């Protein structure tokens, strides 16, 4: 299916654009023209054409305003509709006449609001289908494509460019994620809030993203799926190309259904979702933090990381990490004598270094010790990757340690490297540098181990 008019439009009309700064129709127009409503140095406006549509204005945000989409002289690829639900059918007919390629219906008051709204929604979809217009929403926040500088949403701003697509049933969740992403410098390729999914459904977005060059990993927030079988069929194929990771909201059972069997009492809807995700290769996240940290790890780690070493400058965190790995079934390899001989011969190891996995470099480790350990260990064919832990002592140099790790990653592309930089104020800059260079970095070793486990899970399932 071709959704290029939606995701790669050359021209966008905002139908229901407003001069009222508190109106959604203003926010979307400004997001398109400036890239952001809130102050954000990283934001740029949409490079294609933006046409505000509002019969009561001549210009909006210095753009010529049209009284109807039909008055726009140029072709319109994408229409963003921000008008009361009851007039949307009329507007959709105009869009059909204008041969608009795709529409995002922001407005609420459709299927989510009861039988009347559902009727209206069906009417709008049937009008759009006659004109081959695919619809996002209604009742949604919109679509953001940072690489194309397209912010067709009323999120506060645009997140940085990256390689993770986030498809969310909740629009409000997207707002918060965008704010968080700007602060963290966490990049996205695509964000879609799909609302009622009256036309385009989750599986349609998955199918399109499977071939999107900017997207490496797909993160989902799901509350309910309409066509479960279709979702499984599509996800099974897409997950072979790109990792899909999902957070399911609404895990508890309403329990309204009469249950007559033993199985019935145990087989809740979350069990069905978990089984369906598992069978279609979709990784399950337990919370938002895990959703995004795992998505980042999966996007940046192409290898499976089955046999791992821990390299640390601190005993305690090394032991904790080893415990977490053991609990999760992550294999920590035994470091062979020949490898230890190389470490000994390097002349940079502390006389009391641990000589085993976790490899404790001792608290006074300078960057050269990390570098030597990474070089020797990742050079071994029996080691797939390393978790590198840094705690801060007086002589520790976080930025140089980060540079060493980044260099090791470049030198050993098939190996998996995860950094655990424990700390706060004085390690923040190094963490930022690591993440900007595609090294998944964690503050808590438990989170690191959990993300690693998901990577191993993804790669082992991909093989089957």
Partner 1 sequence: MNHINLDQKDVFLILQDASFPISRILLAENEEQAVENGKSLGFPLVMKIDSPEISHKSDCGGVKTGIQNEGELRLSYRQVMHDAHTAYPQATLHGVLLQKMENGREIIIGAKKDPTFGHMIMFGLGGIMVEVMKDVSFRISPLKESDAMEMIQEIKGYAILKGTRGEKSVDIKSLTTILLLLSDLLSKKPEISELDFNPVMVSEHGAIIVDARISL
Candidates 45-53, 106-114, 253-261, 351-359; binding stretch for partner 1 (CB under 8 A): 253-261
The answer to whether 212 and 2 have CB atoms below 8 angstroms apart is no
CB nearer to partner 1: give 198 or 448: 198
Q: Is 376 in the site for partner 1 (CB under 8 A)?
A: no
Angle of helix 445-463 versus helix 228-241 axis, rounded to 10: 100
CB nearer to partner 1: give 267 or 407: 267
Runs of H (alpha helix) within 171-314: 171-184, 202-210, 228-241, 262-266, 269-279, 288-300
Q: Is 464 in the site for partner 1 (CB under 8 A)?
A: yes
The answer to whether 102 and 133 have CB atoms below 8 angstroms apart is yes
Q: Tokens 């399932």 belong to which residue? A: 461
CB nearer to partner 1: give 276 or 378: 276
CB nearer to partner 1: give 443 or 460: 460
Report CA-CA distances (Å) from 320 to 292, 323, 421, 457: 23, 5, 14, 21
Residues 228-247 that bind partner 1 (CB under 8 A): 228-229, 232
For 240, other C-beta atoms within 10 Å of its C-beta total 12
Q: Is 22 in the site for partner 1 (CB under 8 A)?
A: no
The answer to whether 219 and 164 have CB atoms below 8 angstroms apart is yes
Token pair listed for 181: 């992403």
User: For partner 1, which residue of 225, 247, 403, 408 counts as binding (CB under 8 A)?
Assistant: 225
Candidates 46-54, 140-148, 155-163, 218-226; binding stretch for partner 1 (CB under 8 A): 218-226
Write down the least CB distance from residue 247 to partner 1, Å: 16
For 195, other C-beta atoms within 10 Å of its C-beta total 27
Write down the least CB distance from residue 169 to partner 1, Å: 13
User: For partner 1, which residue of 56, 262, 425, 463 counts as binding (CB under 8 A)?
Assistant: 262
Write down the least CB distance from residue 255 to partner 1, Å: 12
Q: Is 273 in the site for partner 1 (CB under 8 A)?
A: yes
Candidates 45-53, 220-228, 381-389, 392-400; binding stretch for partner 1 (CB under 8 A): 220-228
Q: Is 12 in the site for partner 1 (CB under 8 A)?
A: no
Give dist(CA 310, CA 319) in Å, integer: 9
User: For partner 1, which residue of 269, 303, 354, 436 counts as binding (CB under 8 A)?
Assistant: 269
User: For partner 1, which residue of 119, 130, 251, 278 counts as binding (CB under 8 A)?
Assistant: 278
Closest by CA to 50, choosing from 21, 20, 9, 82, is: 9
Q: Is 276 in the site for partner 1 (CB under 8 A)?
A: yes
Write down the least CB distance from residue 302 to partner 1, Å: 25
CB nearer to partner 1: give 229 or 462: 229
Strand partners, 386: 309, 417
Cα torsion 427, 423, 385, 300: sign: negative
Q: Is 341 in the site for partner 1 (CB under 8 A)?
A: no
User: For partner 1, which residue of 257, 337, 338, 463 counts as binding (CB under 8 A)?
Assistant: 257
CB nearer to partner 1: give 106 or 167: 167
Strand partners, 79: 13, 103
Write down the least CB distance from residue 201 to partner 1, Å: 12
Q: Is 275 in the site for partner 1 (CB under 8 A)?
A: yes
Q: Is 263 in the site for partner 1 (CB under 8 A)?
A: yes
> Rg (Cα) of the chain, in Å, rounded?
25
Write down the least CB distance from residue 232 to partner 1, Å: 7
Write the DSSP assignment of 352-382 as a string of letters: T---SSSEE--TT--HHHHHHHHHHHHTSTT
Strand partners, 51: 13
Contacts of 3 (CB under 8 A, 6+ apart): 102, 134, 200, 204, 205, 208
User: For partner 1, which residue of 264, 302, 414, 424 counts as binding (CB under 8 A)?
Assistant: 264
Q: Is 259 in the site for partner 1 (CB under 8 A)?
A: yes
The answer to whether 131 and 95 have CB atoms below 8 angstroms apart is yes
Q: Given the rule CB under 8 A, which residues bind partner 1?
A: 224-226, 228-229, 232, 257-264, 266-267, 269, 271-276, 278-279, 464
């Amino acid at each position: 299916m071709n959704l290029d008019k939606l995701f790669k439009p050359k021209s966008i009309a905002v139908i229901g654009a407003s001069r009222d700064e508190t109106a959604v129709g203003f926010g979307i127009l400004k997001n398109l023209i400036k890239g952001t409503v809130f102050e954000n140095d990283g934001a740029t406006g949409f490079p294609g054409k933006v046409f505000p549509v509002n019969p009561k204005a001549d210009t909006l945000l210095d753009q010529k305003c049209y009284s109807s989409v039909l008055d726009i002289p140029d072709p319109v690829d994408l229409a963003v509709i921000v008008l009361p639900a009851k007039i949307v059918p009329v507007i959709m007919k105009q869009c059909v006449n204008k041969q608009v390629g795709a529409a995002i219906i922001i407005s609420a008051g459709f299927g989510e609001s009861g039988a009347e709204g559902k009727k209206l929604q069906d009417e709008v979809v049937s009008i759009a289908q006659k004109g081959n217009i695919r619809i996002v929403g209604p009742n949604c926040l919109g679509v953001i494509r940072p690489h194309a500088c397209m912010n067709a949403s009323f999120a506060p701003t645009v997140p940085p460019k990256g390689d993770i697509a986030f498809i969310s049933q909740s629009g409000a969740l997207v707002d918060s994620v965008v704010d968080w992403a700007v602060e963290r410098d966490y990049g996205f390729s695509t964000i879609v809030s799909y609302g009622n999914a009256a036309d385009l459904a989750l599986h349609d977005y998955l199918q399109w993203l499977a071939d999107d060059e900017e997207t490496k990993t797909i993160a989902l927030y799901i509350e309910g799926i309409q066509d479960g079988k279709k979702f499984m069929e599509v996800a099974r194929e897409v997950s072979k190309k790109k990792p899909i990771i999902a957070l399911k909201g609404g895990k508890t059972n309403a329990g309204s259904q009469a249950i007559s069997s033993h199985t019935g009492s145990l087989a809740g809807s979350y069990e069905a979702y978990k089984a369906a995700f598992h069978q279609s290769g979709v990784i399950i996240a337990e919370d938002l933090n895990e959703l995004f940290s795992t998505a980042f790890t999966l996007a940046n780690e192409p290898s499976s990381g089955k046999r791992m070493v821990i390299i640390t400058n601190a005993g305690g965190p090394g032991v904790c990490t080893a415990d977490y790995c053991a609990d999760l079934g992550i294999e920590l390899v035994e470091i062979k004598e020949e490898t230890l001989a190389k470490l000994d011969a390097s002349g940079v190891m502390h006389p009391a270094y641990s000589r085993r996995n976790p490899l404790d470099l001792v608290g006074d480790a300078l960057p050269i010790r990390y570098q030597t350990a990474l070089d020797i260990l990742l050079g071994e064919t029996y080691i797939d990757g390393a978790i590198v832990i840094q705690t801060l002592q007086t002589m520790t140099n976080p930025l140089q340690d980060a540079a060493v790790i980044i260099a090791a990653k470049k030198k050993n592309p098939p190996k998996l490297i995860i950094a655990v930089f424990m700390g706060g104020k004085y390690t923040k800059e190094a963490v930022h540098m690591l993440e900007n260079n595609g090294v998944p970095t964690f503050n808590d070793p438990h989170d690191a181990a959990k993300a690693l486990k998901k990577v191993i899970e993804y790669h082992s399932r991909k093989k089957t």
